[in-house]
């Protein structure tokens, strides 16, 4: 595979396989959106994701990755990312960030969304809306010839203008035959120059946004990232391919692009 400064350049065939992997992920997230609600536990999300993977005859990409024990990450309220599914029923006003990956035909699809449970407070609804919108702001800046760090600079500016903060501890990434490839895609401005985006690069852009401070801690389970101040966080992720026309989103479901929290 062709490389540019450590990042793989995918050919049309590889992009098609990545699109298929990401279509499956987006379909799973659509199905999650239809089944989550008050009284449903995140373990039901995990089961649905695993069932759909067996229907699709694909491997969940997270399960076993650095010994991660589940197919999904289900992060509730002050949990930012990498939360374990569990049996606690979700309550009215909660939010759950669901991150999912599959491996199809040697290529990884990766996407995430935060779902509101029942009716959430105005602040929390705004958190979801701004986080999702910031993802699309980042995607707008993912163009050939642009510095990859322009993505995060734009995300950070958008998020902070709304009064929220962007997590620094976790970043987006190149994605392909491996889940994490070069380059790193921060959601903030790193203050130096990064790699210049090239046609055929595939990256996962995944802003994590907090209502309060951006500092996170990892729980004793060694995975679950929570905000240090206990304020809530949201996470939206798309995998995109860089084309001459700009970034093309790969994680699109059969129902089309899903922009849940954005008014049409
Ligand atoms: N979307 C996450 C990421 O890009 C998923 C990784 S969870 C893990 O890093 F368990 F697989 F590590
Ligand atoms: Co990712």
For the chain, the domains span 2-249
pLDDT at 160 over 60: yes
Local confidence band at 260 (pLDDT 50, 70, 90 cut-offs): low
CATH of domain 2-249: 3.90.230.10
Can you tell me the mean pLDDT for 238-264? 84
Query: What is d(CA 29, CA 23) in angstroms, rounded to the nearest whole number?
Result: 10
Which ligand is nearest the CA of 222, by number? 1
| pLDDT of the residue at 263 | 36
Angular region, 246: left φ>0, alpha ψ -120 to 50, beta rest:
left
Residue nearest to atom 8 of ligand 1 (CA): 62
> For the chain, what percent of residues have pLDDT higher than 70?
98
Distance CA 7, CA 182 (A): 5
Q: Is the pLDDT of residue 254 over 90?
A: yes
- Which pLDDT value is given to residue 157? 98
According to the model, what pLDDT value does residue 258 have? 73
Which ligand sits closest to the CA of 68?
A: 1
- Ligand 1 atom showing the smallest separation from residue 73 Cα: 7
Percent of the chain with pLDDT over 90: 96
Per-residue pLDDT of 90-127, as tens digits, reads 999 999 999 999 999 999 999 999 999 999 999 999 99
Q: What is the pLDDT of residue 264?
A: 31
Nearest ligand to the C-alpha atom of residue 221 = 1
110 pocket-lining for ligand 1 (C-beta < 6 Å) = yes
- Counting from 1 in the atom list of ligand 1, the atom nearest the Cα of 70 is 10
| Mean pLDDT for the stretch of residues 165-179 | 98
CA 67 from centroid of its chain's CA atoms = 20
Is this prediction's pTM over 0.95?
A: yes
**Would the pLDDT of 136 be above 90?**
yes
| 208 Cβ below 6 A of ligand 1 | no
- pLDDT tens column, 15-71: 999 999 999 999 999 999 999 999 999 999 999 999 999 999 999 999 999 999 999
In the reported structure, the alpha carbon of residue 62 is separated from the centroid of ligand 1 by a whole-number distance in angstroms of: 6
- Per-residue pLDDT, averaged over 226-242, amounts to 98
Q: How far is Cα 162 from Cα 176, in angstroms, rounded to an integer? A: 33
Structure tokens at 200: 């055929």
């Amino acid at each position: 595979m062709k490389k540019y400064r450590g990042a793989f350049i995918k050919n049309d065939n590889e992009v098609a396989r990545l699109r298929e992997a990401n279509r499956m992920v987006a379909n799973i997230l659509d199905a999650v959106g239809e089944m989550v609600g008050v009284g449903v536990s995140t373990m039901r999300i995990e089961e649905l994701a695993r069932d759909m993977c067996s229907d699709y005859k694909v491997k969940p990409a997270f399960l076993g990755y650095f010994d991660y024990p589940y197919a999904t990450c289900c992060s509730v309220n002050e949990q930012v990312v990498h939360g374990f599914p569990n049996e606690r029923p979700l309550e009215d006003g909660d939010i759950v960030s669901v991150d999912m990956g599959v491996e199809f035909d040697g290529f990884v699809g990766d996407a995430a969304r935060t779902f509101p449970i029942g009716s959430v407070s105005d602040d929390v609804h705004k958190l979801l809306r701004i986080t999702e919108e910031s993802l699309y702001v980042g995607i707008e800046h993912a163009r050939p010839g642009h510095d990859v760090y322009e993505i995060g600079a734009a995300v950070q500016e958008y998020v902070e203008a709304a009064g929220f903060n962007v997590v620094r501890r976790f970043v987006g990434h190149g994605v392909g035959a491996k889940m994490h490839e070069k380059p790193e895609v921060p959601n903030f401005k790193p203050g130096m120059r990064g790699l210049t985006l090239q046609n055929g690069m595939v990256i996962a852009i995944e802003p994590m946004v907090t209502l309060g401070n951006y500092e996170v801690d990892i729980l004793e389970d060694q995975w679950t990232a929570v905000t240090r101040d206990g304020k809530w966080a949201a996470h939206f992720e798309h995998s995109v391919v860089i084309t001459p026309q700009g970034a093309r989103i790969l994680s699109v479901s059969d129902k089309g692009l899903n922009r849940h929290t954005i008014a049409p």
